[in-house]
Amino acid sequence: MPSRRFKLPVLSRLSWAWLGFAALGLGVAVYSANDGGRTRAAVAMAVEGIERLAPPERRDAVEAPPERLAAGAPAIVAEEAAADAPLDPYALDAEDALSGVGDAAAPYEDPAADVIITVDGVPARAIGQAQAKKSAAAMTPVSAPDEGLLRRSAYGQIPRIGADGRRPSKIYAKNFAPGKGPHVALIVGGLGLNRALTERAIDDLPPQVTLAFAPYAKDLIFWTKRARDAGHEIMIEIPMENRSSDVEALGPAALLTSRSAEENAQRLDWILSRFQGYFGATNYLGAKFSGDRDAIEPLLARIEAAGLSYVDDTGGIDRDAKKGAAASVDRLVDPGYGENATQTRRDLEALEKTAAAGGDALGKTYVYDATLDDIVEWTASLEGKGLTLAPASAVLALRAGDR
């Protein structure tokens, strides 16, 4: 009797698909059971404080290599740490801590809409498609991060004065030739939290406008490079304790008067490591912190030692301060929305008058759609009024007698 060959049963395509899904599920279960719980820990672990990011005994072991930092990788490599080691907050898909500030004056909070880290659901023009016409000279890229001006910290690379004496405040300042008339500068802050507004600010605002980025924002290395390539000098924002806001809403990196100088220094190092290539830092809120001498002086000392400029908008630092690299804005320009829609234009006009009377003026505001429209229109009108739009670093240099 001839032997029969064994044949596989004939299965429908649907049956094969179910078998494939079952095999895939089995593979995932086996992997999860053998990965030491790292996947579950990454999802479940909350960030309770910046000190937990890199305990002293593990700091050297978990710092990311320079090539990963350059590519936008987190400063802390969780895979190289123990299963119960603290995680880097960059890796957590959490809402930006600054978006919930309860202070009525908090510029990151728009009462008309929820502020989120990115706005990918809103149609936007292609990245890199600039709308404003800018001269080639104005769009000359600002210097890229220089390894000679960086040092390793527990949280990543942060600025330092170079061995040859070069300072980030000079190297990363926008090249600028002073004009004949009074100079007026404007810093636009709150960038990085909203993709569409960040792109608009980079593309639509004149390159002489200085851009400041929030430390909790996503994709900071990408956005700050785009800003420098478009000719904007950049700054990093430091969240600080205000007199009326909820300190918890400022996030784990906030500088508080209730914390020791060492605790605030740890948080400052984390903030300064978020991206590179900025010429200075500026506050976000912080009226209480800036008004506390014991709190603000160690901060200013560390900023100065890092070779950075510092711009304050709380009034806690003298406008004409010549010591170190700290200065105050002449006017905090109201972002203007709703019933205050015309306040932005009034504040910008007041900034013009300050420049005309004193030879220069430095203002600061925060990004909103209406604010950007007003600034574009205002900057285009300055030349006809005999005023020169200048980067913030240029006004600081003029005040210090460096130009």
* CATH number for position 143: 3.20.20.370
Domain boundary among 69, 91, 113: 91
Domain boundary among 65, 91, 117: 91
298 in a structural domain: yes
**pLDDT above 80 (res 265):** yes
Give the model's confidence band at 179: pLDDT under 50 very low, under 70 low, under 90 confident, else very high: confident
Q: Residue 36 — left, alpha, or beta (φ > 0 → left; ψ -120 to 50 → alpha)?
A: left
The token pair at 21 is 């899904």
Residues 135, 204: one domain? yes
28-42, 76-90, 129-143, 202-216: least confident range: 76-90
Kindly give, in sequence order, each residue whose CB lies less than 8 Å from that of residue 150, ignoring residues fewer than 6 positions away. 157, 158, 159, 160, 276
Mark whether 87 and 101 lie in a shared domain. Answer: no
The answer to whether position 180 is within a domain reads yes
Residue 60 lies in a domain: yes
Q: Which of 299, 344, 337 is nearest to 317 (CA)?
A: 299
Tell me the C-alpha to C-alpha distance, in Å, between residue 402 and each of 175, 269, 322, 325, 327.
Answer: 13, 28, 11, 12, 14
Residue 118 lies in a domain: yes
Which of 297 and 30 is assigned the larger pLDDT? 297
pLDDT at 216 over 90: yes
Is there a single domain that holds both residue 235 and residue 310?
Answer: yes
Q: Are residues 75 and 102 in the same domain?
A: no
* Residue span of the structural domain in which 305 resides: 97-399
Q: What percent of the chain is predicted at pLDDT more than 90?
A: 54
Cβ contacts of 163-171, under 8 Å, gap ≥ 24: 166/307, 167/307, 167/308, 168/278, 168/279, 168/306, 168/307, 168/308, 169/279, 169/280, 169/307, 169/308, 169/309, 169/325, 169/393, 170/279, 171/143, 171/146, 171/279
pLDDT band at 262 (very low <50, low <70, confident <90, very high): very high
pLDDT computed for residue 317 by the predictor: 77
117, part of any domain: yes
Tokens of 111: 């009462």
Residue 3's pLDDT is: 52
Is the per-residue pLDDT at 123 higher than 50?
no
Q: Which residue has the higher pLDDT, 186 or 22?
A: 186
The pTM for the full model equals: 0.71
- How does residue 89 score in pLDDT terms, banded at 50, 70 and 90? very low
Domain count, the chain: 2
